Structure 1
């Protein structure tokens, strides 16, 4: 990178003089332009030196202030004004204004043709860029060689730190240190010391491109930081952090660092694909394990041996839980975001959960965004651990996790039952506006099986079984319904039914016969009894309670 200070220090430009006052002349110079038009800012690139004779300002130099204002937005490196042709000198108030808006004014003597000055400056800049480009390509070859030799991330980051002569840190999408250069092995404080000072605002700036900002060292002194996004996913990038970029030697350029990031992206992407293939194998194994109880061909499989490569162990405790990323109104319909969100949550759990709970296996559930957690030992603090992990992930990436547990079982083949229960608990939790972080399966009973059935179907079923007794309006039919319900509740025992309703036994017998006549079936038949009990329960909400005792007959 060529700077204004480097350019003006060259002997060939020794006759150029900076008139305005500036604290820092380390300004990037990428181009040189000649112009005599006042709207030149609309047509030049950023970081350019603008050369002019100021012909149009010869009668009123104060108008040059507006030109300076327009050049500020283009991050112009300097405004070079040739004197001795149209203006003999530059007014002091223009120089003072240039100092105020921080645009250096360079006085070009009349002996220096602007065309030759343009050519000399551009030649130097282009030579520097050619050298930087050549070096960047050499770096790319070097890193590509590392990629072909299947180096790991730690080795790559160590090599990058050596090449650019600056501390380098690679962060996960949830902003934890994955790897760092060897600088930190000689440092008094770890890489995490600096990373903890980077907040969400900094990460937002980095994700927009690259960003430079300041953190503090142990002595409280400023340390410049460069941050780059490493986009393996669309929404959850890794981050490359470079400390003290002022130490980066020439001819290492921005382009060279971009080449390193490109190779780093390939390494991370390759690792993603390897993990993805392994996840598919794990998901297939889980699917087979869940189906084992109903698939007779798998009766004699040794599931522990088959699953040992995934972490399956012999145990008397197997419990399955499902994890799910709770959507919000902004991302609910973003399918790619939801997929990447689930993938990041899984990697987060894989990195954090085994450190706090032993013998837990994490699976991706096939064809869903759900994550399965198989616990193989009883953990009294599991609820607390999962709550903590969910809070940490929400703070890091604004991802809200929800967990749903099935019941524990001793036999590994009963994992299918635990999975079904966990799925039921998760379905129930996700229907809530604000579900609990940790949810458990609760048996629903027979009526609970009809929770997701529409009311019209339930109404039809009840009327088909109970006929006029399903939703009676007549008082006598209400009495028959109430008697039938109690009769079935007391397992068809007339004496207990009569006692409960304060009625004579003969009255109960009569009413049951009336019910059988109305329904056209025997209420004592086991199948009929089950259907009647179910229909009575399902239709209960549509009837007023008739539980009050009737006067004796």
Structure 2
């Protein structure tokens, strides 16, 4: 990109004199044209610098104002008028008007043939573009060599910063510094200092894929940062930040930066696919472990040895946390978005949780976008840590992580129990009106087995087991039911039941005998006792739900 000001600074064009305000000579010049036609603006593209002798206007220069207006409307870069042939000097009123509308006028001396000047200017423009392209291709070649030699991303960024002679930073989708050039080792502020400023000042900077921003340097002076999107994922790209882009030496062009972004995309994509293959093996191991441990009468296997490569350790504390990204009405149908969102959350957990919890291993749950976190140590403030982790990510990206927590177990052979509990807790969360960030599994007992039964089936079980005591209306049956419940809760001990109900033990004995006759079964029998207990609980719950 060449501006008029750059052209006029070149020594070979030093005899061209800018008559208008120098600060307005920043118009972009893409080509040069010669014309003496008053309506030339109708036949030229934008960003043209027009050369003319203005012979049509030799008797009335005021008409140049109409030409200038038409060129301004066409977004021309400016006009160069040759003096000494048809016009001895350019009318000050014309220059004043051009200044008023910020349109550059350049005076060309009589010694300059316009044809020769046209070729010189065009050659410079063409040479500039050729040189920029050649430089960009040279950079691409150097980058390709780095790729072939499988250098790390850190080495790549360091070399790129050296090539363009200005600080460079690569940040992750959630704005963590992945790599930076060596410029920052010579300052008192790390790369994170500049990223933090950028994040604090521009809340939506991630939404601007390629943009320029102003922050403060170490001396609190204005500092420009150019941001470029590095696309590995469609919805959550990485970003390449270049500090002081205006100081990048010529002929470094934006095209060359795009080449760097393209090569970085390949490198990050390659690393991502390698990691995905390892994660697949890891998730496959978890799937086998859960499935095997749920299958009865299996021979014992050394899971610690089998899972050593996947982070499984010897411990007396094993616990599973089931992690899922909550979906909105906008994202619930976007399958690709959900996959990328889960991958970003997976990386976030990998980088943040090990700093707060010892001996953890994070798995992708097979055939889902869910995650399973295996904790192998006792954590007192687990829910607080998980809440902070979720909020930390949501502050950086529109991702809301929720966690369902299974119980703690002592052996690796019981990991499946904690996993099932965590997944059950997650399913419970889905039924809640307002889904919390964390939710623990709470045992429900045998009655939970009947929760999904038809209400008519529950009533049938209760009525056939308890007869008149299932849903009593008469006072005598209500009292018998209360006595039966208390008797069973005190393990069929008459004395304790009598003490609890403030009744004589003979009264309790009479009532229990009456219940036994009414139900037609021995209440002390273990099987009968279990069914009666369950029927009492279910009939009370189902009666409340009516």
Indicate whether the TM-score tops 0.5: yes
* Alignment correspondent of 2:354: 354
Structure 2 residue 469 is matched with structure 1 residue 460:
no
2:18 alignment counterpart? 18
Structure 1 residues 147-169: Cα deviation after superposition (integer angstroms, max 9, x where no partner) = 11111011100110111111111
**Per-residue deviation, 1:438:** 2.8
Aligned 8 A contact 1:34 1:52 in 2: yes
In structure 2, C-alpha distance between the alignment counterparts of 1:42 and 1:296, rounded to whole Å:
85
Q: How much does 1:529 deviate?
A: 5.3
> 1:550: which partner in 2?
none
Q: CA RMSD in A?
A: 3.9
Greater mean deviation of Cα atoms: 442-451 or 345-354: 442-451
Q: CA deviation at 1:315?
A: 1.0
- In structure 2, relative to structure 1, the CA distance for the partners of 1:162 and 1:346 (3 Å cut) is same
- Distance apart, 1:247 and its partner CA: 2.4
Give the Cα–Cα distance (whole angstroms) in 1 for the partners of residues 390 and 321 of structure 2.
14
Structure 2 distance, partners of 1:434, 1:58, is: 76
Of the structure 1 ranges 7-16 and 103-112, higher mean CA displacement relative to structure 2 is found in 103-112
Alignment of 1:437-456 (within 5 A): 437-451=437-451, 453=452
Whether the 8 Å contact between 1:324 and 1:403 is mirrored in structure 2 is yes
> What SS class does the counterpart of residue 251 from structure 1 fall into?
coil
Q: What are the superposed Cα offsets for residues 397-425 of structure 1, whole Å, 9 maximum, x if unpaired?
A: 13222222111111101000011111122
Give the match for residue 418 of structure 2: 418
Indicate the residue corresponding to 2:274 in structure 1: 274
Work out the CA distance in 2 between the residues paired with 1:34 and 1:296.
91
Superposed CA offset, 1:38-76 (max 9, x none) = 89699845x5546678989987666567647645xx6x5
Contact 2:227–2:241 under 8 Å retained in 1:
yes
State the distance in 2 between where 1:493 and 1:42 align.
108
Where in structure 2 are the equivalents of 1:373-388 lying within 5 Å?
A: 373-388=373-388
TM-score by length of 1: 0.82
What is residue 543 of structure 1 aligned with on the other side?
543
Distance 1:478 1:82 in 2: 114
Which residue does 2:331 correspond to in 1?
331
Query: Which runs of no fewer than 5 residues in structure 2 stay unpaired?
Result: none
Q: How far is 1:222 from its partner?
A: 1.7
Contact 1:58 1:86 in 2 (8 A): no
Instruction: Give the secondary-structure state (helix, strand or coil) at the position aligned to 1:443.
Output: coil
Structure 1 equivalent of residue 402 of structure 2: 402
Whole-Å separation in 2 of the counterparts to 1:400 and 1:483: 50
Q: Distance in 1 between matches of 2:206 and 2:50?
A: 30
Q: How many residues align?
A: 534
Who is 1:551 aligned against?
A: none
3-state SS in 1 of match to 2:284: helix
Kindly state the Cα deviation for residue 277 of structure 1 after the two structures are TM-superposed.
0.7
CA distance in 2, matches of 1:153, 1:381: 36
Contact 1:465–1:531 (Cα < 8 Å) also in 2: no
Q: Deviations over 1:489-509 (max 9, x none)?
A: 676789988996977866664
TM-score, with length taken from structure 2: 0.83
Structure 1 residue 267: deviation in Å?
A: 0.4
User: Is 1:305 the equivalent of 2:305?
Assistant: yes
Structure 1: distance between partners of 2:51 and 2:530? 96
Question: Are the structure 2 counterparts of residues 372 and 31 from structure 1 closer, same or farther at C-alpha, using a change threshold of 3 Å?
Answer: farther
Q: Distance in 2 between matches of 1:125 and 1:195?
A: 36
Report the Cα offset of residue 543 of structure 1. Answer: 3.3
Structure 1 residue 118 displacement after superposition = 5.2
Give the match's secondary structure for 1:300: coil
From the superposition, tell whether residues 233 and 59 of structure 1 become closer, same or farther in structure 2 (CA, over 3 Å). Answer: same
The 3-state SS of whatever aligns with 1:396 is: coil
Alignment of 1:187-202 (within 5 A): 187-199=187-199, 202=202
8 Å CA contact retained: 1:483, 1:511: no
Deviations 1:335-381 (A, max 9, x none): 22222111111101111111222211111111222211111111224
Quick one: distance in 2 between partners of 1:133 and 1:183?
A: 26
The equivalent of 1:237 in structure 2 is 237
Task: Check the 8 A contact 1:41/1:70 in 2, yes or no.
Answer: no
Please state how far the C-alpha of 1:170 moved relative to its aligned partner: 0.7
Correspondence 1:255-270 to 2 at 5 A: 255-270=255-270
| Structure 1 unaligned blocks of 5 or more | 546-553
Cα deviations across residues 176-225 of structure 1 (Å, max 9, x unaligned)? 11111111122232111211110377474564441112221121112221
Describe the shift of the 1:2–1:60 C-alpha distance in structure 2 as closer, same or farther (beyond 3 A): closer
Distance 1:526 1:43 in 2: 100
Paired residue secondary structure (1:429): helix
2 CA distance for matches of 1:96 and 1:319?
80
Contact 2:359 2:375 in 1 (8 A): yes
- The secondary structure found in structure 2 opposite 1:415 is helix
* Alignment partner, residue 343 of structure 2: 343
Per-residue Cα deviation, 1:411-450 (whole angstroms, up to 9, x for no partner) = 1010000111111222223433433333222112222344
